[in-house]
C-alpha cells in the first residue's frame, strides 16, 4: 500500500513538473536570420509637436536570434515633414513574444528637438505591448504611454523574411 502511495505521488509530481515546464516555454520567432520592414509607420504625440499627432514612415531591420527574439538593430524615420528631426533612441530594440500573437517591444525610444525652445523632447526608452499577425507579418502597437509626456499613438511595420512564430 505504501509503495502504491509513493508511485501515485511520484506520478503526480512528474505530471505537475511537465505542466509547469511547458508553461515556462514562451513563444518566439523562427527561423533565426535577418528581417526588414521598409513600409512601417509611427504616430507620436510629444511636447515638440504640442501633443499633435506626428506621422512618420519607419524602416526597420534586424535579426531573429537563436532564442526566437527579434532584435531590431536599425530604425530609420522617413524624411517627410518634421520626421528628419525625429531621432530613434534605445537601439537595439527587442521583440519578445509572450504568445504567438502578443509580446513586448523593449527599449523603444525617440527624441526630437523642441521647436523654438532649447532642449529635446525625450520619449522613452520604454517597453510597450505589441501585437503580431503571423499571416500578414505585421507588428503593431497602439495607444501606449511613454515617458517624457509622450504617447505612441500607433506603430505598424510589415516585416519581410521567413518569419513565423512558434509556441
Q: Residue 7 pLDDT more than 70?
A: no
Confidence (pLDDT) at 86: 95
Instruction: Count up the domains in the chain and report the number.
Output: 1
Per the domain annotation, does 132 fall within a domain?
yes
Rounded to two decimals, the pTM is: 0.82
Range from 8-12, 90-94, 141-145, 154-158 carrying the lowest mean pLDDT: 8-12
**103 contact partners, CB below 8 Å, separation of at least 6:** 27, 95, 96, 97, 129, 130, 132
CB 116 within 8 A of CB 137: no
Per the domain annotation, does 129 fall within a domain?
yes
Tell me the residue range of the domain where 140 lies.
28-166
Per the domain annotation, does 39 fall within a domain?
yes
16 pLDDT band (50/70/90 cuts)? very low
59 vs 56: CA distance, rounded Å: 10
**19 contact partners, CB below 8 Å, separation of at least 6:** none
76 vs 85: CA distance, rounded Å: 11
Amino acid at each position: 500500500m505504501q509503495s502504491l502511495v509513493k508511485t501515485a505521488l511520484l506520478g503526480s509530481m512528474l505530471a505537475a513538473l511537465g505542466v509547469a515546464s511547458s508553461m515556462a516555454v514562451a513563444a518566439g520567432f523562427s527561423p533565426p536570420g535577418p528581417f526588414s520592414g521598409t513600409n512601417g509607420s509611427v504616430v507620436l504625440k510629444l511636447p515638440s509637436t504640442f501633443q499633435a499627432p506626428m506621422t512618420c514612415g519607419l524602416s526597420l531591420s534586424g535579426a531573429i536570434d537563436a532564442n526566437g527574439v527579434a532584435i531590431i538593430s536599425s530604425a530609420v524615420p522617413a524624411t517627410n515633414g518634421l520626421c528628419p528631426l525625429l531621432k530613434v533612441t534605445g537601439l537595439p530594440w527587442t521583440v519578445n513574444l509572450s504568445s504567438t500573437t502578443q509580446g513586448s517591444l523593449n527599449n523603444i525610444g525617440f527624441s526630437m528637438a523642441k521647436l523654438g525652445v532649447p532642449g529635446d523632447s525625450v520619449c522613452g526608452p520604454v517597453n510597450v505591448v505589441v501585437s503580431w499577425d503571423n499571416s500578414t507579418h505585421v507588428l503593431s502597437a497602439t495607444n501606449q504611454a511613454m515617458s517624457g509626456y509622450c504617447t505612441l499613438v500607433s506603430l505598424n511595420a510589415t516585416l519581410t523574411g521567413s518569419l513565423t512564430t512558434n509556441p
